[in-house]
Amino acid sequence: MNVVVTGGNRGIGYAVSAELARRGHRVVVVARDAARGEQALRSLPGEAELVVGDLSTVAGMRGVAERLAEVCPRIDVLVHNAGLWPSRLTLTPDGLEESFAVNHLAPFTLNRLLEDRLARVVQVSAGLYVKGKADPGRTPHGADFHPLRTYADTKLCNVAVLPLFAERWRARGGTIDAVHPGVINTGLGARSGPVGLLLKAAKRFWKTPDQGAAPVVALTEGSTTGRYFNEFEEIPMHVDRELGLRLWEQAEKLSGIA
C-alpha cells in the first residue's frame, strides 16, 4: 500500500509514518525542510521516500502534487497531517494567511489535483473546529486573525468541504474521513514568553505523538466516508453546507483549479 503523509517528518506525522512503515507499507513523507525530511527518512523502518515542498504557497502545493504524481501512480491513502497554529499574522507570497493556506487550501488543492489516483484520504483535524467562525471574505487573508481563534477557523474551513469531497468521490469509490487525534504533546502552537512556559508545563500531561497517531493509522484502513472521528469514536460533524460550498468555490479560484 502506498501511503503519503504530509508533515511526516515530526510529531504525529512522523509517528504515523513510522507505524505504517512497520506494517510493511511504502510511505512517502512530504516535508518542507529537506534536511529534516532526510533525517526522518533514515530512521523509518521499511520502504520510505521523501517529497520536499512548501504547502504554504500555491506554487508549492502544485509542486508537491506534481512530484507525488511522479512517485505514486496510485495513492492508496493520503494523510493530511501538516498544520500550523500561528501566534502572529503571516501572509504568504500569495497574500494568504499562512495557516489558512496550510490547514485548508493545501489539503483541498492536493485532493483536487491528485483525485484521479486517490483511493482514500484521512484528514487530521482538531475538535476545536466547532469553535471556528470562518468568514470567506476575511479569514483567507487574515483580516480576522487571532492568535487563538484562527486555528479553529482554518480547521473549520477544512472540515466544511469534507462532505463535498465525499459526495464527489462516492461514485468512483474514493473515501475521505477526518479525525481529531486527541490533545497531543507536539510542537504545534508553541509560544514564547510566559504563555509558552505555561503551555510547555501543561503539555507534560498531554498524550504522546505515538498515542495521537493510533486513531489516524486506524482510519487509513477504514472504509467509511464523509465521517468525523474523535479519536476512535465516530461523532456527528457540525458544518454548514452553504459555507462549505462558498469555501469550495473560493478554494478553486485561489488554487487556480477553477
Residue ranges of the domains in the chain? 2-255
42-72 tens-digit pLDDT: 999 888 999 999 999 999 999 999 999 999 9
pLDDT, position 209 = 83
Amino acid making up residue 162: L
Rounded-to-5 percentages of helix, strand, coil across the chain: 50, 15, 35
Measured CA to CA, the distance from residue 189 to residue 61 in angstroms comes to 22
Neighbouring C-beta atoms of residue 51, cutoff 10 Å: 21
When the pLDDT of each residue in the chain is averaged and rounded to a whole number, the result is 92
Question: For residue 258, what pLDDT band results from cuts at 50, 70 and 90?
Answer: confident
Tell me whether strands 77-80 and 120-124 are parallel, antiparallel or unpaired. Answer: parallel
pLDDT, position 148 = 87
pLDDT, position 166 = 98
The residues that are catalytic are 151
Strands (E), the chain: 2-6, 26-31, 48-52, 77-80, 120-124, 175-180, 227-230, 233-235
179-208 tens-digit pLDDT: 999 876 555 544 445 444 444 444 454 568
Which are the contacts of 245, defined by CB distance < 8 A and separation ≥ 6?
A: 164
CATH of domain 2-255: 3.40.50.720
Amino acid making up residue 192: S
155-186 tens-digit pLDDT: 999 999 999 999 999 999 999 999 999 876 55
Q: Hey, what's the cell of 212?
A: 495521537
